[in-house]
Structures are given as C-alpha cells and as structure tokens.
Amino acid sequence: MSQATTHIETIEGEYNLNNYDEIRENFDWSDAKALLSAAKTGKINAAYETIDRHVDEGYGDKIALHYINEGEKRSYTFKEVKDQTDHYARILKRHGVTRGDRVFVFLPKTPECYIAILAVIKVGAIAGPLFEAFMEDAVRDRINDCDGTLLITDQQLVKRVPKKDIPSLETTLFVEDIEKEPLQPVDGDDYVEWVDWEDGLIIHYTSGSTGKPKGVLHAHRAAQHHIVTGKWVLDIKDDDVYWCTSHPGWVTGSVYGLFAPLLNRATVVIQGGRFSAENWYSLIEELGVTIWYSAPTAFRMLLSKGDLYKDYDLSSVRHVLSVGEPLNPEVIQWAWNSLNVRIHDTWWMTETGGHLIVNLPAEKIKPGSMGRSFPGIQVGILDEEGNELPHGEVGQLAVRTPWPGLMKEIWGNQDKFKSYFQYKGWYISGDLALQDEEGYVFFQGRNDDMINSAGERIGPFEVESKLIEHTAVEEAGVIGKPDELRGELVKAFITLRSGYQESEQLLEEIRLYVRKNLSAHAAPREIEVMDELPKTKISGKILRRQLKALEIERANKVKN
C-alpha cells in the first residue's frame, strides 16, 4: 500500500474562507443547474452559457482570452469572442451545418481553435476537437468513426488529413479563409441553436486497452458539472487569470481549458508552442496567472530545472491543480517548498465529463492521495463481484451513477458503453484504488493494459496495429514501462519477419513509422526485439502483462 503518512496541512485562511464542510453537506446538483442561465428555460446552449451570456449580463469588455506564443500576444474581450463565434457560426450555417452534425476542429492551440469549437456548439452541432499532433491515421479513424461532415483546419494541418479516405467529409474550411472574410454581423441575427439538455455537445476520442479509440459523446447537460466544479474546484473568482496547459483535443483542455473557466467568466490563457520551462515561467509572470492547471509530468519537468523558478516573479499564482496521472508526493513537496503553493490533485476521465475526486482549496491534502469525492459524488471500491470493499482495501474504483457530466454514449458502440456499467448503479473506471477512513482515495494503477504516458491515454492495440504494418515487424506487444519523468513510456516488444536483421537503424525506422502515421506521443520510445513473444496457451494472445512484469523486474534489479 502506498498510503502516505506525512501531511501538508491546510494553509488556514490564507486565501479561501469557504466553509467546505457546509458545502459538502448541503450540496445538491440542482444548485449546479441554477448557476446556468438556461436553468430558467427548458432549453440550453453551452456555447451561449460560456460566452454570449456574459456579454448579455454586461461583461462584454472583460478579457476572455489571452493568447501568447513566442513573442506573439493577442487578447480578446468576451464581446470579441462572441462576435468571432458568430462569424464562424454564420459560415458554418452557410455550409449547411445543422443540429447534431459532427464537425471536427483540427487546429493548434490558438484562439481560433477555441472559437471554432464554440461556434460549432453554438449552431447545435457536435464538436470533435483533434489534438494538433495527430497524424493521418489518427485523424482519419476519428472522423470516419462518427461520419464527420465538416472540418475546420489550417493550411499546415490539412496536409495530415487524408480526405480521399474520409467519404463523409463534405467540406473543409480553413481558418486563414474564415479570418479573411469580413465580420458582417447582420442586426438581429442570432446563431444560437437552443437544444435539449441531452443533445450532443462534444465528442472526444479516447484509448482503452483494446481496439481503436472510442468516441465518448457528452451532452449539453455536462455544463452543470463544468460550471460547478469550475466554481468549487478551480476556485474561479472574477479577477482570476486562469491557465490550463492542455490542448482542447484532450478532455482536460476542453472541459477545464475552455468550458469550466469561461462558464465562470475567468480570463483564460492560451499558450501556443511547445513546452519550455523558461516560457512557462515567464508566461505566468507576464500575464499574472493566478490559477494554474497542469499535469505531473509538466511539474516534474519544471522540478528538474532546479532553481530556475527563482528568476521569475511567480507570486501571482494562488491556486494550482494537477490531473491525468499519479501526482507524486515529491512534486507536491517541491511546489510547497519552492513555489509556496499546494498542488491540488484531481481525478476524472474523458468518460466522466468532469471532476469526481478532488482536493478542494483549503481542505487537507494527503500527498499520495488524489483527494476526496466531489460533493454529490459517491465513490466505491468494489471487488470482482461488484461488492463494496472496506476502507484500506484495493479494488475497482467505481462511482455511483448518474451525475450531470457522465458521458451520454460511446459513438456507435453500445456494448462498450454498457461495459462501464456492469454492476448495477455503478460506473466502473478501470482504475484500481483504495479509500481511507476519511474518504481520501489512493490510486493503485490500472486494471487493464491502458498506457498513461505524460498523462495521455495510449491504447496498446493501436500502437501494435501500426507496428505490424511495417514490413519488418512480425508481431508486437506494447506496454507502459515505468518512467520517472513521464510516469510510463511506450515500450514495444517485437519479433522480426524472416530476412530482417536487428539494427539501430531499423528500429529507428520502425519508430518513425509509427510517429509519422499515428502520432508522436504514441510512438514507442523503446523497441526491443525478441525471438518470441509470450502468449496465452489457448488463444495465442500476446501477454502484455508478462512483458510489463519483465520490465518491472528489470527496473527493480537496477534499483537494488
């Protein structure tokens, strides 16, 4: 058991005087709904709630977005974002986009990416944001799976869109062209399509341990979950400058990079370009970031830069959060000692649509734990029969259904959808965990073969499929190898076809093949050639668990 005994206690009254005991006690999801203006009407539009509403309520001049990328800096007020989303919406409508259509957005982390997503939602269509590093296969599989009809991209990324293999795709729009068109607001024009709470909002493709990525569809009702967790977990107040480092192609980037902060009228920072400790620290200093949401790998990268933080004034930061992978106590300790902040871990998944296990500001943090269930959420640790286990025992991490952010469906895959709900009244996460007497939950790993590298979900099957497409590869088994910086790194065990000789050059070629066709983050960092892969006797399936055990055994040998 990895239960930690040392606590960093609360910073009593430092910045947050909310009475969380009272909040936990009195919480009701109807309070979350009441935060939305749509609560008063039968219909909703999450894009309206996110942007237009604030303009209607008199905050049009407030800064909604700051964009910063290698010296380039732009800012947009809520009114400007509204006008821009109207502009995009007008063009989408001109191209015949209607309620329920799947419209993909394949753009780098720029204001146009955020605006495009919001415009799609505004006209009642379902937004399909794609991560900017995706290569041809990843793009094709996703758009094909849900028959996307329109794509918003740019002249660079379109090179990775194999249009001829995507029959449903009728229209491709380029931001360069959209931006060139004059903004022509027609008085009285309104592009907001009022939809039902159950209507589709956004579709995120995410990996599991088998098969291709699945399309997790969320409904507009999730806005209740977004707004209330933005208020209590992100702790957004009116003068906050909020920065989430994730791209909206990942669920953290859409829910907590876009919806939750803007629903709460925060000023949101969008940082373009790659990670660099210097750029990150200077961004915080320059824009006066107050709330910062990132991932353990990023924090570990900053930690590895030693005293660099001392060169910057980071005193604006008052609240820091983490998600996506286990947050090690060392990192919490580092942030506490060097940056003088606590890192608040949060646990949730693409499928859950919003935070479920959290550390509320000013509540006690137990390093090593992911926190406690959000008010209104009940966590259970279940055995293999679906019975609840006592405190301290490791089992399947489950959550009582339903809650507003919970996915609506897995696109075109009822069986997969049902597999999350095999025990009546519970959602099964696929994670293993234990819970202590105070309700703190301690992550113990995955219950399947899914890989988590730098907080990103990678399906071994997808990588294996790509590997065996290479002419030299006979068979492949892909696992997450424990790694200090990234949590896990993608490691492939392969056998070679006869006639091929192992060489550095060949392995590099295979690696680049996956990188070029699938994506950089899924490409194996290590490839090991074996004479034979371990397999089950009966079905001949590759035993990933055995490969993983081998790696863990090797790592332990090095340590001892």
- Which of 245, 429, 435, 519 is in the footprint of ligand 6R9 by CB under 6 A? 429
DSSP letters spanning 495-534: EEPTT----HHHHHHHHHHHHHHTBTTTS-SEEEE-SS--
Mark the segment that binds ligand 6R9 (CB under 6 A) among 231-239, 388-396, 409-417, 427-435. Answer: 427-435
Residue 225 found at the interface with ligand 6R9 (CB under 6 A): no
Q: How far is the CB of 445 from ligand 6R9 (least distance, A)?
A: 8
Considering the complex, state which of residue 376 and residue 480 has its C-beta at the smaller distance from ligand 6R9.
Answer: 480
* Window 182-211: contact mask with ligand 6R9 (x via CB under 6 A): ------------------------x-----
Could you say which of 321, 362, 370, 527 contacts ligand 6R9 (CB under 6 A)?
A: 370
Q: Which run of H or of E encompasses 548? A: helix 544-559
Report if residue 247 touches ligand 6R9, rule: CB under 6 A. Answer: no
Helices (H), 148-235: 175-180, 222-232
Q: In this chain, which of 86, 199, 345, 464 binds ligand 6R9, going by CB under 6 A?
A: 345
User: Which has the closest alpha carbon to 135: 106, 171, 101?
Assistant: 106
Angstrom distances, CA of residue 271 to CA of 176, 307, 312, 453: 20, 23, 18, 21
- DSSP secondary structure of 128-165: EEE-TTB-HHHHHHHHHHTT--EEEE-TTGGGG--GGG
Asked whether 510 and 473 are in contact (CB, 8 A), the reply is yes
Q: What track of x and - describes contact with ligand 6R9 for positions 371 through 410 (by CB under 6 A)?
A: ----------------------------------------
Give the Cα separation of 373 and 360 in Å (integer): 10
Using DSSP, state whether 420 is helix, strand or coil. coil
Distances (CA, A) of 185 to 47, 116, 176, 188: 18, 17, 19, 9
3-state secondary structure of 536: coil
- Residue of minimal Cβ distance to ligand 6R9: 350
Site track for ligand 6R9 across 430-459, x = CB under 6 A? xx-----------x--x-----x----x--
522 lines the binding site for ligand 6R9 (CB under 6 A): no
Binding mask 462-491 for ligand 6R9 (x = CB under 6 A): ------------------------------
When binding is defined by CB under 6 A, the residue of 83, 325, 464, 551 that contacts ligand 6R9 is 325
Among the listed ranges 190-198, 221-229, 324-332, 335-343, the one in contact with ligand 6R9 (CB under 6 A) is: 324-332
Give the phi and the psi of residue 34 in degrees, each rounded to 5: -65, -15
How does DSSP classify residue 253?
A: H
Contacting positions for ligand 6R9 (CB under 6 A): 206, 251-252, 323-327, 345-350, 370, 429-431, 443, 446, 452, 457
